[in-house]
Amino acid sequence: MDHILMLKKMVCLLSCQPRNLQSQLNDALDCLLAATSALATGILWPDANGFIQLRAQSPLNFFADPKSWRNFTNPDNPDALTWGQEAYAWLAAPMKVGGTPIGRLWVVDHVGRNFDQNDREFIMMAGNQLALAIENSRLYEEVQRLAIKRGELLRRVIATQDERCRRISRELHDEISQSLTAMSLDIEAIDLDDQLRHHPVLQRLSHMRPRLQTALKEINRIILDLRPTLLDDMGLIAAIRWFAMQRLGTSGVNVHIDCSDPAINPESHVETTLYRIAQEAINNIARHAHARNVWLSYQKTNHTIQLSIRDDGCGFDPEAVMNQPDDRKGIGLFGMQERASVIGACTQINSAPGQGTCILVRYPAREFKAG
């Protein structure tokens, strides 16, 4: 077979098959062996400690003496082809990554075989393709490893944030909220005291009381935003319903709730994550959508539990928002997707200008327990 056609076949074997590097290398070396009609071929590649080892070979039962590997390398010029005649006729080519020789691709045949120029050029090109496949596999594994670490880090960050929200919420409730309530009650008691009723300072105190009550309401709103007690006491749907009514109902937006089975309760970390996603979606509706209606749906199928927040507002182009140079404009959408990925869920954002928006979160039913 023509060397160019065989090289194309090798490239396909290395890139088109399911990701299994060892199997891909073996198939590619079988292809190389057929193209050169040689006795055996293989790859020398450094291990994790930098020692040159036999990475793959064809046929598998060929014995490659490690002592002969020195024939396949040229320390003075690692870029050079190496060939010779000893126990076998051999040809070895550098395998380069980013222009730097890393490993060697070798071919051996019976003594007397003279590898011609076409063989040499073919081995050089094949070596670079095989090196690229090995390096791509290493990078892919590194990306996967970093993705796992990133996911774990994200889980810890979210857990830390939620715990901080709980702590701040408790402190606001136990300290500041209680103090403001006590001050309001003290002013009320002074107001009811007949001996102080006409005291000139009382008028000023009476003006302070509504301001204290306003501050108390604002503190309570912040407490509920940080960690609504409904989420702990009554569950996810009640908390989302309350937040939606507080955030949207006061603006004249009609909120419609559809919950097929409120007895299904998420585990604590899943419940918190779903609430945060719904909270972000509802905040986006309040800020940007100009909607008249919002539909909140919580449904369970045989294998999936689904939460959706849909509105009839102005809509937008999700791809355009996510790809804007100003990353801040898409950070909310990105945050929803990241939170969903932490619990093994997926988020789908469906929207278009003038057609409203639907945020859909699907997660495995096994994550949930009966309430």
Reference 93, options 117, 120, 114, 115; nearest CA is: 120
CA 66, 69, 74 angle in degrees (round to 5)? 155
Q: Could you tell me whether strands 254-259 and 293-300 are parallel, antiparallel, or unpaired per DSSP bridges? A: parallel
Q: Where are the alpha helices (DSSP H) in 193-315?
A: 200-226, 229-233, 236-248, 268-284
User: What number of other Cβ atoms are within 10 A of residue 98's Cβ?
Assistant: 8
Give all strands of the β-sheet with 89-97 in edge-to-edge order: 52-58, 40-46, 100-109, 89-97, 82-85
CATH homologous superfamily of 3-146 equals GAF domain (3.30.450.40)
Dihedral sign computed on CA atoms, order 187, 192, 197, 203: positive
Residue type (1 letter), 330 = G
**pTM (whole model) above 0.75:** no
Reference 285, options 258, 317, 251, 261; nearest CA is: 251
At 262 the pLDDT is 59
| 62 neighbors 39 (Cβ within 8 angstroms) | yes
At 371 the pLDDT is 46
Q: Concatenated DSSP letters for 6-57?
A: HHHHHHHHHHTS-S-HHHHHHHHHHHHHHHHT-SEEEEEEE-TTS-EEEEEE
For the chain, what are the domain ranges? 3-146, 229-370
Reference 316, options 347, 284, 341, 340; nearest CA is: 284
pLDDT in tens, the chain (371 residues): 466 677 777 777 777 665 788 888 888 898 888 888 899 999 999 888 888 888 999 998 888 777 777 778 776 677 778 888 878 888 999 998 888 888 999 999 999 898 888 888 888 888 888 898 888 888 888 888 888 888 788 778 877 877 887 788 878 878 888 888 888 888 777 776 666 666 677 767 777 878 888 888 888 778 777 776 777 777 888 888 888 988 898 888 999 988 866 566 667 778 888 888 999 999 999 999 999 999 999 887 777 888 999 999 999 998 888 877 665 667 888 888 888 888 889 999 999 999 999 999 998 865 444 44
At 309 the pLDDT is 95
| 243 neighbors 226 (Cβ within 8 angstroms) | no
Report d(CA 155, CA 134) in Å as an integer. Answer: 32
At 367 the pLDDT is 45
Report d(CA 335, CA 135) in Å as an integer. Answer: 32
Report d(CA 329, CA 322) in Å as an integer. Answer: 7
Q: Could you tell me whether strands 304-311 and 293-300 are parallel, antiparallel, or unpaired per DSSP bridges? A: antiparallel
Query: How far are the Cα atoms of 101, 319, 352 from residue 118, in angstroms, in the given order?
Result: 21, 49, 57
Given CATH 3.30.565.10, say whether it is the number of domain 229-370: yes
Reference 7, options 154, 132, 97; nearest CA is: 132
